[in-house]
Structures are given as structure tokens and as C-alpha cells.
Amino acid sequence: MLCVVGCLALVLILYAFADKPNDHKNGFTRRVPAVTAMFQHSLTLKYPAYYIAGYTNQHIYLGNYSASLHLLAVNQNLQDTQELTLKISPEERYAWKLTRVMVDSPAVYMAEGNTPALYRGKLDDLMMDRFLSQSCFFNMLQNISTTSFISRSIHIDSLGNSQNILAKVKTDSPYVKLGKSILTKQVDGIFCTDGTLDYDKQTGKLVYLYHYRNEFVTLDTNLQVIYTAHTLDTNARAKIEVAHMSTGISKFSAPPTYVNSRVRIADNRIYVLSSLLADNEDRKTRQHNEIIDVFSLDNGKYIYTLYIPLKGEGRITDFIIKGDQLFALHDQTLNTYSILQ
């Protein structure tokens, strides 16, 4: 009995000393009342581990982290699904767990940055052929035209310091152009610069949003910075601790303060999926909603906040905005919401 009480007490003491996310005031406010998205349709997918690969006027395409050649096409009201399989020569060797599929109709790309390997095909026949063999290593890739991509790669300088940088990869010479000093190092260069990237076809602009600090960078397709802007919260510097181990691998040695998880651009606006609660929000808000802050693509100014009500399927892993519809992926569930204001 004493044992039981002792154990419970010990864990409770640990709990009392723990840093709980969103427990203390985060020091910023959101514009209230927020706009709440209207839930429309839901579709439970057959497998877990999907991500959004792209969309056309009629369909949304989902790729799968655990099946590199699998592609699922879903129509706008989630009524009709179609399972597709990319066709690739059996001799091709690539790290299938790292591949990502990108759909940019009528083309479809498959990229894997550790080999590196890049394949291109057409949506109507799905025959994938090797493409852009003059590429560089990358850990993120975004296609911006039929002949060029923006990659995030690890650059090692003459002193041996490694850091994430953005680069432009093209089919013609000079195949790779480095965009130095776009991503800025704060702690270790790799983790502290981690983030998400999205490209807006309409305006030809890219936004890179950091995960661990309140900052995003808007660029043009030549990797020229248009402006740097800030998300609402106060984390100007990444609050992370990184340990470098003798095996050459680096790992977090304390729980990182995760600020922003995903950026998407649509209709001249930047949508930022945030992890932090504002001081003027109820503590339960993030238990029942996903919070998206909306910024202007022209100048990075805050416009309003969007709440996406959760239906018990877990947090949003990825989302896109298409007209006045928001498609939210929760690992194995795809939901649509109306975000008409």
C-alpha cells in the first residue's frame, strides 16, 4: 500500500515540476472572435500514414509514407476515391521510405533526396521515368515549374559546420544554385532551421515557415527574399536543445517548443497551422480545435484566425485550401470544411 502511494506521489511530483506546453501565458493575443470553419464531409481512409501530394480542379491526391508508389485520388465532396499505382522500372533503386510524391497536373513527380533520385510521369499513364540526374542531395523538395525545383539541402561550410539551406535545382546549367543566408542559424543549423515550405503557383511566391520560431520568409522563384515576417507568438529564438553524439547523429535533449507546424498559401493568403494558445483564448480551445492564423501574402501582415473544429480523429497532419474549402488530413481521416467568411 505504501508502495502504491509512494509511486503515485513520485510521478505527481515529476508532473508538478514538468514544463507543460500552453500551461503558462504565451504572451500574445489573437484577433477575436475567430472564424470557425464549417464541417462538411469526412472520409476514413483504408490505411494510415497519408500526406497530401497535390490537387487538380476535380481531385485531391494523397501519397503514403509507407507505400511509395501508392496514390489515392479523392474527389471534392469525398464521395469517390480511386487507388492508383505509379509504374516504375524494377531496376530502379531508391530509399522508398523517404520518397515523396508531388502532383502538379498534368505531371506527377516522385522525389527521394538521399540517393538522390527524381522521377517524372504523367497523371494519365503514371509511367515514372528518371529525371534531372544532375541533382543534389536534399531533405525537402518543391516543384515550381516543369523544369525547376526548390530544395532544402544540408550545406557544409569550410569549417565543417552544417546547416540547412534552400537551393534551386534546374534541368539546365547551372543545375544547382544555392540560396545562402535565407535560412538563418540560431542553435545547431539543422533542427533550429527546420520548417515547412509551400509554393503558390498563382503569384510565383514561396513561403518557408520555421517550426521552432515565430518567423516565415517569403521568396520568389529565384530565391530572392521578398520579406521576412513573424507569426503572432513571441518565440523569436528557437527554444531547443540539441545533443551531438559520437555516432555523428544529433538529437533533441529536451522537449522542443514547437510553434508552427504547417504553412499553406492560397488566394494571396498565408495559412499557418499554429501549436500555441494565445492569452485571450480559452485553454480548451486547442483541445477541440486546430488553430490557423491567416496572413497576407503581399506583406506578411496578420489578418484573422481560423478555428477548425476537431471531430475526435486526432490532430491535423496536413491541410490544403482550395477555393472556399479546406481539406484537413488527420493521418487516416480526410475532412473537408467550408471557410467562407
Provide the binding-site residues for another protein, judged by CB under 8 A: 3-4, 6-8, 10-11, 14-15, 17-21, 241, 243, 245-247, 251-255, 258, 315
195-200 and 176-179 as β-strands: parallel, antiparallel, unpaired?
unpaired
Structure-block grid coordinates of residue 321:
485550401
Q: How far is the CB of 245 from another protein (least distance, A)?
A: 5
When the beta carbons of 225 and 243 are compared against another protein, the nearer one is: 243
What is the arrangement of strands in the sheet containing 176-179, beginning at the earlier edge strand? 140-143, 148-156, 162-170, 176-179
- Cβ proximity to another protein, 201 vs 315, nearer residue: 315
Residues whose CB falls within 8 Å of the CB of residue 177, separated by 6 or more in sequence, listed in order: 167, 168, 170, 223
Is the CB of residue 233 less than 8 Å from the CB of residue 274?
Answer: yes
Amino acid at residue number 164: N
- As given in the structure block, the three cell numbers for residue 232 are 503572432
Given the complex with another protein, which of 21 and 65 has the nearer CB atom?
21
Distance, CA of 270 to CA of 272 (rounded, Å):
6
Q: Which is nearer to another protein, 33 or 248 (CB)?
A: 248
Strand pairing of 87-88 and 127-130? parallel
Nearest distance in Å: CB 11, another protein:
4
**Distances from the Cα of 28 to the Cαs of 23, 32, 205, 229, 277, in angstroms?**
14, 12, 28, 16, 9
If the CB atoms of residues 198 and 290 are measured against another protein, the closer one turns out to be: 290
Q: How far is the CB of 48 from another protein (least distance, A)?
A: 12
Helices and strands counted in the chain (H then E): 2, 28
CB of 288 to another protein, least distance (A): 15
- Residue 211 or 213: the one with the smaller Cβ distance to another protein is 211
Q: In the complex with another protein, which residue's Cβ is closer, 224 or 246?
A: 246
Work out how close the CB of 334 gets to another protein at its nearest, in angstroms, rounded to a whole number: 21
Shortest distance in whole angstroms from residue 149 CB to another protein: 30
The whole-angstrom separation of Cα 315 and Cα 286 is: 10
Sequence-distant (≥ 6) Cβ neighbours of residue 100 within 8 angstroms: 51, 53, 63, 110, 111, 112, 141
Min separation Cβ 254 and another protein, Å = 5
